[in-house]
Structure 1
Amino acid sequence: MVGRYHSIPPPGAQARLLPRLLPARKGRRLKTADLAGKGGPLREDTAEDHQDQERRRHTARILRGIRLRVLHLALFWTLVSGGLAWLPTLPLPRTTLLALQGLIWLAGCALTLLAGRRMVHDARDHLRTEQILRENEVEFRTTLNATTVGLFRLRNLHFDFVNATLAEMMGYGVEEFLTLSPMDVVVPEQRDMVRQNSIRRAEGEPGYPYQLTFLRKDGGTFIGQVWSKRILFRGKPCTVGSIVDISARIEAEQEMRRMVNALAASNLELERFAYVASHDLQEPLRAITSFSQLLERRLDGRLDAEAAEYLRFIITGGKRMHALVNDLLAFSRVAHKGSPFQLVSCDDSVAMALQTLQDSIRDSHAVITVGRLPMILADAMQIEQLFQHLIGNAIKFGQPGKVPHIRIGADREQDEYHFRIEDDGIGIPPEYHTEIFSVFRRLHKGPAYPGTGVGLAICKRVVERHQGRIWVSAMPAQGSCFHFTLPAPDGATPPC
């Protein structure tokens, strides 16, 4: 009986009962998530509670096993002593009695040695388990102190645990910090907020991140993001939480906001300057062009060839400058002279654009196919302008000697409409797909493809003002397809 009794399970069963106390037997090291209960959220105890409970239970099993073995040995030797005293009364030869007594003594000694060996094994196993627990505790605390997040535990609004990171963040030693309360490390105007949050945690309200301004030991301050939660620790309520220094992040965000505001103000001034300059330049340019043309008519036939050519240069340059100013003014008006958004029929906008382009359509014999287009919430004039530029480009950049075929359509994609204007023209090399939307960027110069290079920049600005996107898919000599998206108004019907 004594030899078969085990106060603790054999190694295989023990590994099943103590998966977190003897991790080395499973070929892995102890993890913080294991101590916290397989990585789940803290419920009514912490990793430290769980470790202490396991240690106490294991120690109790060892001591209980040793006491039982001692009791069994005492009972066994009591029985042996009674048996030895009873043997001489048996009617057996003396040699037989002596042999029986010797066997009983040998069996008792052997069982006593086995029991003692088992107790030594149990004690050694207990010491090994304690060593593993101590090593894991050191590793766990080292990890807590090495993290960049400050960790704390509060009981009755006083710190009873902080890691080294939090103490260093505040400029204190760990032992010194444990003598403080949250009120000692928060600026005075936010101490009431700390009290209110503590009351809400005590009432069971779930924790959420919030920001506090903390006082360092040297009098400096920093902004920290705090998270806290109410738990039971060793049977008593307390609050655990973390503090992250976000001063650098807040400063970077403020600097970025300052730069964005400064950039927005600068862009606004530039746009106002472009609008005013282009508006004010119209009148002198108109005068230059008009008087140059008047001079050309009056002096017709009286100027030599060179002078007549110079005069034509002046008139052509004036007209081009006038076109540039007009387009620049149109580009500026997208942001400064836009109308309020209203429900707009894209069918009507395309029809108006085609009417404006009727001369170009007639001269090129262009074939334009328009699908059913949706209603959108937009600036009607700007949407008409958008279609006019894109359809005009499709006509202008058709392949020489070929009738342009242009297809216009739209599809509903989640909460926006995807418009397509596709042609079979000369196409655009892939390396210029982004560049063509810049102001004054022209891929084709000369009389064959007139223009100022502002049209697609206006299209981009119109689409972006309507919270959409614009891009192109095209290859040289294979035509182009301009895509843009516009938000779908609530309750809008998709195009058929």
Structure 2
Amino acid sequence: MERRLRCFAVGAGAVAAAIGVVCLLAWLSGAMTYRGLSSLTIKTNASLCLILCGTALMQAVPADPSPLLRWTARCFAAICLVVGGLTVMEYLPGWELAIDQLLAVEPPGALGVVSPNRMGLPAAVSFTLGGIAILFLLHTPRPLVRQSQWIGIILCLIALLGLLGYIYGARAFHGVSSYTFVAWPTAIAIAFLGAGLLCARPKEGLMVSITSADAGGVAIRRLLAAAILVPIALGWLHLQGESHGFYGRISGTRFLVIAWIVIFSWLVHQTAKRLFRADEAKRSALTALQRTQALLLEAERLSHTGAWEWDLTSDIWTFSDEWQRLHGTRDRSLRPDELFSIAHPEDRPAIRSAFDALRRGASPYEMEHRIVRQDTGEVRTVKASGQYLRDRSGRVVKIYGFVQDITEQKRAEDELRKSEARLSTALDNLREGVVIATERGEVFYWNPSGWMMHGYANPEEGRRHLAEFEQIFQLSLADGRVLTLDEWPMLRIIRGEKVQNLELRLRRLDQEWERVVSYSGTILQTLGEERLVYLSICDMTEQRRAEEALQEREERLRIFIEHAPAALAMFDRQMRYVHVSRRWLTDYDLEGRNLRGICHYQVFPEIPDHWRQVHARALAGEILRADEDQFVRSDGSIQWVRWEVRPWQDASGRVAGILVFSEDITHRKHAEQERERLITELQQSNAELQQFAYVSSHDLQEPIRMVTSYVQLLQKRYQGKLDEKAEMYISFIVEAAHRMSCLINDLLALSRVGRREREFMPVETELVVKEALDNLRFAMEESGARITKDTLPMVMGDPVQLLQLFQNLLGNAIKYRKKEVTPEVHISAERKKNQWLFGIHDNGIGIEPQYHERIFVIFQRLHQREEYQGTGIGLAICQKIVENHGGRIWVESKPGLGSTFFFSLPINK
């Protein structure tokens, strides 16, 4: 019904709008311009208001119109309200707003008008009220439905007033000298607008009692139409009979009253009769319902199931006594939204989501969730379901559901599940295989160890009859005899024989492997009339292999100890000999004796207490040793011994005895003493050599300086007095003395590099290179050399030696340059694992490959002194510096393509 009434409301708005469109088009085309001179016509503003009001009504009918529709309907209703209101104001004395002929012009002299093309006062009031009613429908947040419906009733009465005038032909109803009354199309349209306003919200406001399904709603719907149509029809008949002279006014009035009484009495009787029948059916249904409810309540009590129901139209919430008992509440005033507080906090979101979907009619639900009883606070588990009912229009009008307490069931299921899980976990984690079969020989269970032990990829492969296993497996005794199927452990158990720790060899024929397994089994239980057989299978293969390996290992240990090159003995916790080496027997004069099982203290009864304490500490778990222990032999000679005593453990990790090792190191000790003597002599010799180098350098430098000084005095005093050959001889002497001085300095530097004068420290190679370049500034300016470098790291080293290293290599790079070519030198540094790799690359003359190693030998030169100055010691010094720092140096070069001298320095030295 609701859907049909809403459709009627949309249709009513459409009819009103259509009347307005037709009349407005007639005005705009000129067809209505002069019709008003002969009859009452609908005016242009009235036509416009019908269009706006009818369209706004159609847009306001949906319960939740879109924002665009809502906004458009409000605008149309407001325009209608303004036009109608302004027209009403024009009927006041002295008001003339000149809005009547804006759309079309009507000539003077039209019927029933004082102002051309002005709508009548009833129409103006109707459109004003209609605009207000539509705005009431669209009011937010809560529409004013009841007020809108009262306005709809007023509009229907105004329209009925005008239509009755036309039906009864009473001029006084539609024309007076000073007003333009409503035209019949306008009256029809207003009637549709009023009816549409009433039907727009059929389940709200005044329409609730009319559209309800109860007896009152049925009575109203049956009598309302008669209450409207019968008086109109009787009034028309009365007037027609009177006008035709069938009766007078008094008689006609009597007949009219009698007809009303008869017709309405008959209608009331028929309505009461129908209501009585409906009540009879309802009472019968109620009696059946009560019986059904009694049965339902008993079923609910027995099944611990509670029921609830929510009538959305009447907003009535009901629930059964069992529902209250389950939830521990006696409050019957609970609202549906308050019931969520009974649910467990963790389950509330899911319950609310399912409940909201049920209210929308999206989907029924069935779920398990927890509740918290209101009386005891106990958490219970329930199984809940919900359904919905729709009316004929498809709207959800009722939702209902059931709640069943399944706490005990869930507990039982959990316990069963836990028990099964514990049993399954226990069987799954057993190292032994487990097979369960029926008395008929059908295998239906394998644990993982069992089916993997038999070479199956999954337990399904092993679920078969015992007879089929004979084609796959072979069981045999230790002596190699193959068992028949009847002798297999499972069948022996089925026959009632006892099988306990039966060790057999299991061989799989299709995979060609063999295992040693031990079988034990029993009758597990009785399942109906059939017995189940439990068989435990223990894989002994690794154990047997371990036993064999242990025997082999003990034999190897015996052989190892016996043939050990040192004195070695193995004792148990009572210091009894287990194994002993031949060297032990030789060193302790025990050759030819069998010491196995004899106590060590019986063999050496006078052993010092010191050694007994050492043995006791080792048996307690300590490891004791001495790298050098001095003993005085009976003959007075000194013996040096290295020994160690340590515990050994058995398979369980417990100390089972000790191992005693001893070695005579007297000869090694004498050799070490001789080495120390030689080292001392060598150090003394080196010190003397260093002192000699210092003295020699001083003694050699002194005469060279004297020779150089006197020769330079001769050169200065006799300059120009000697012939050319004498001056050349003098220059040779000066140059030779200078070379001799440089050579002595280089030799002295070379001797210093070989000794460590200071501890290595962190050195910023950036600063070292800067200082070296400062020292070479004269050579760089003279040659115009360009020096570039990468970011250089910090290294551990001797800053003085590193300065000399970089200065020698950079000086060589500048010195050995090509003629007419500007020297270009680049210094690089790259980390290579645990060292820094430095490179000094130049664009000089290069070096032949066969000389790459020779250049680092002292006094080795590749060029004449006339070409390049030098002593041939610089690269030898560089090599000693790098080696002194734990690195190495080499060169990569080709003649004419320059050279790159690489050297490495450890990152941490």
State the TM-score, normalized to the length of structure 2. 0.36
Asked if 1:369 corresponds to 2:839, the answer is no
Shift of 1:389: 0.7
Aligned twin of 1:442: 861
Verify: 1:473 aligned to 2:891, yes or no. yes
Q: In structure 1, what is the Cα distance between the partners aligned to 2:635 and 2:550?
A: 36
Shift, 1:320, TM fit: 0.8
- DSSP-derived class of the 1:395 partner: helix
SS of the residue corresponding to residue 593 of structure 2 reads helix
1:173 aligns with 2:591: yes
Residue 418 of structure 1 and its aligned partner are, at CA, apart by: 2.5
Quote how far apart the aligned CAs of 1:206 are.
4.6
1:388 to partner: Cα distance: 0.9
The residue aligned with 2:873 is 454
In structure 2, the residue matched to 1:226 is 643
Contact 1:427 1:480 in 2 (8 A): yes
Measure the CA separation in 2 of the matches of 1:240 and 1:424.
Answer: 69
Q: What is the 5 A alignment of 1:178-257?
A: 194-206=611-623, 210-212=627-629, 223-231=640-648, 237-257=656-676
Shift of 1:390: 0.8
Distance verdict in 2 for CA 1:337–1:197, change over 3 Å: closer
2:764 is aligned with 1:345: yes
Q: How does 1:239-318 map to 2 (within 5 A)?
A: 239-304=658-723, 306-318=725-737
SS of alignment partner, residue 387 of structure 1: helix
* Alpha-carbon distance between aligned partners in 2 of 1:280 and 1:391, rounded to the nearest angstrom: 32
Conserved 8 A contact 2:562-2:579: no
CA contact (8 A) 2:623 2:644 kept: no
Could you say if the C-alpha distance between residues 321 and 263 of structure 1 is closer, same or farther in structure 2, counting changes exceeding 3 Å?
A: same
1:261 Cα deviation after fit: 4.5
1:383 aligned to 776, 790, 802, which one?
802
The AA in structure 1 aligned to 2:870 is G
Q: 1:287 to 1:140 in 2, by over 3 A?
A: closer
Deviation string, structure 1 residues 45-75 (Cα, Å, up to 9, x no partner): xx26xxxxxxxxxxxxxxxxxxxxxxxxxxx
Measure the CA separation in 2 of the matches of 1:35 and 1:262: 57
The equivalent of 1:23 in structure 2 is none
Is contact 1:228-1:242 (8 Å) kept?
A: yes
Distance 1:217 1:417, change over 3 A: same
**Amino acid corresponding to residue 566 of structure 2 in structure 1:** V
- How far has the Cα of 1:394 moved from its partner? 1.2
1:354 and 1:344, CA in 2 relative to 1: closer, same or farther beyond 3 A? same
Q: 8 Å contact 1:275–1:328 — kept in the other structure?
A: no
Residues 248 and 485 of structure 1: CA distance in aligned 2, closer, same or farther (over 3 Å) = farther
Q: How does 1:474-489 map to 2 (within 5 A)?
A: 474-477=892-895, 478-488=897-907
Alpha-carbon distance change, 265 to 183 in structure 1, aligned in 2, over 3 angstroms? farther
Q: Secondary structure at the match of 1:351?
A: helix
Equivalent of 1:10, from 480, 505, 521? 480
* Partner SS for 1:175: coil
Deviations 1:171-191 (A, max 9, x none): 5414188786599699x9xx6
- Any conservation in 1 of the 2:628–2:641 contact (CA below 8 Å)? yes
Counterpart residue type for residue 582 of structure 2: A
Larger Rg: 2
- Give the alignment partner of residue 396 of structure 1, picking from 807, 811, 815: 815
Distance 1:437 1:246, change over 3 A: farther
Residue in structure 2 matched with residue 90 of structure 1 by the alignment: none
CA–CA distance in structure 2, aligned partners of residues 443 and 239 of structure 1: 69
Structure 2 alignment gaps of length 5 or more: 1-475, 483-503, 506-513, 517-544
Is structure 2 residue 568 aligned with structure 1 residue 151? Answer: yes
Q: Identify the residue that residue 96 of structure 1 maps to in structure 2.
A: none
Gaps of 5+ in 1: 1-5, 18-30, 40-46, 49-138, 491-496
2: CA distance between counterparts of 1:378 and 1:486?
Answer: 9
CA shift for structure 1 position 33 = 11
Deviation at 1:352, TM superposition (A): 2.0
Relative contact order higher in (CA < 8 Å, ≥ 6 apart): 1
| 1:105-154 alpha-carbon deviations (Å, 9 max, x no partner) | xxxxxxxxxxxxxxxxxxxxxxxxxxxxxxxxxx9866654442333123
Kindly tell me: are residues 379 and 140 of structure 1, through their superposed partners in 2, closer, same or farther at Cα, counting changes over 3 Å?
A: closer
TM-score (norm 1): 0.61
Cα offset, 1:213, TM superposition: 5.0
Q: 2:893 matched to 1:423?
A: no
Is the alpha carbon distance of 1:413 and 1:450 closer, same or farther for their aligned partners in structure 2, counting shifts above 3 Å? same
- 1:314 is aligned with what amino acid? I
Q: 1:7 to 1:386 in 2, by over 3 A?
A: closer
SS across alignment from 1:451: coil
8 Å Cα contact 2:558/2:579 also seen in 1:
no
| Partner Cα distance (1:261, 1:367) in 2 | 51
Q: Kindly indicate whether the alpha-carbon contact (under 8 Å) linking 1:347 and 1:372 is maintained by their aligned counterparts in 2.
A: yes
Q: Distance in 1 between matches of 2:665 and 2:613?
A: 22
